[in-house]
Amino acid sequence: MDVVSACRQMGRHLSRLMVDAVLPPLCLGCNEIVATPGALCAGCWSALSFIAPPQCRRCGVPFAHDVGPDAYCADCLARPPRYRCARAALVYDERSRRIVLPFKHGDRTDMAKSCAGWMVRAAGELLPEADLVVPVPLHWRRLFTRRYNQAALLAGMVAQQSGRRAVPDLLRRHRWTGSQAGLRGNFGQTNYGSAKAAIMGMTFIWAIELGRYGITVNAMSPAGATRMTEALFARTGEAPPPEANPALNAPMVTWLASEEAGHVNGQILGRTDFAYTIYRHPLQIGYMYREGGWDVQGVSENFNKIFAQQLQHVGMAMPGAMEFKK
């Protein structure tokens, strides 16, 4: 190594030390100071449930005991999925959600490199056989509001770390869902989600209060291109797709206002693509009883025993149709 190269390397090292002194690297899970950028502290690392063998050969679900490298889980034997093999890096639980949701919804694009490394390790035996790395696409409307596709960032990093080729635009999403921020929750949208949830609560209450007078109250979670997205289409030069027509919401709303729909009351409906949807109301799904009531110690000792398998996922579910771009 010549003197010039040595000086450049030393300069980069000193620059890194100066940046770390002012803005020290933080744990991806809890924001505690760590040694290197993109790392996890010891507590978060031990709390995360990384998936590793033994696992189902097809879907990758972990097994409690080693039953051989070619074993399949009961679900894959009963209903074989259409894909040949799938792998995941982490079990999706309360601890991993603290990493996944900020990366997906909270502009934490700096997490992409570390998350991709975990994915490369989890898919170690699959990547050498892969021709391409293709991300799950975002619908244009979701991309407009989120400003980036976290799956595309991951695909680029996975391709870089594995020596594969990434093709971020091979798939195109044509279906999107209406706003579910109040139904499922969405990172960074407290005000918006609270307003939507308030409409749901108002719908349930008015359906009871006004139902005795023959008045029905239902809520519609619509979907469609709006003035908010006009600038996006102006920049791209594309016209909104047919399923983005707001008029597609009208038939359901019109029918709900008719006498024929007099039996429909207190319902939450929506639209996605060319389909209408209906949402289940919150229901009691668990029961924890003790004669005379509970104290804190009793709750602490029994909560996980009774409710652990009934805890509900938080966050928006975004299914959608995908097809190869022609």
* Residue of 147, 137, 139, 145 whose CA lies nearest to 175: 139
Question: Do residues 183 and 170 make contact, with C-beta atoms less than 8 angstroms apart?
Answer: no
Task: Tell me how far apart the terminal alpha carbons of the chain are, to the nearest angstrom.
Answer: 51
- Which string of b and e fits 199-230 if b means at least 16 CB within 10 Å? ebeebbebbeeeeeeeebbbbbbbbbbeeebe
Which residue carries 């690392």 as its tokens? 45
The answer to whether the peptide bond before residue 241 is cis (omega within 30 degrees of 0) is: no
Active site residue 192: yes
| Strand-pair partners of 26 | 33
Report the C-alpha gap between 145 and 237 in whole angstroms. Answer: 18
Report the C-alpha gap between 120 and 126 in whole angstroms. Answer: 9
Question: Do residues 281 and 289 make contact, with C-beta atoms less than 8 angstroms apart?
Answer: no
Catalytic option among 72, 83, 192, 287:
192
Tokens of 311: 């805890």
Catalytic positions, written as ranges: 192
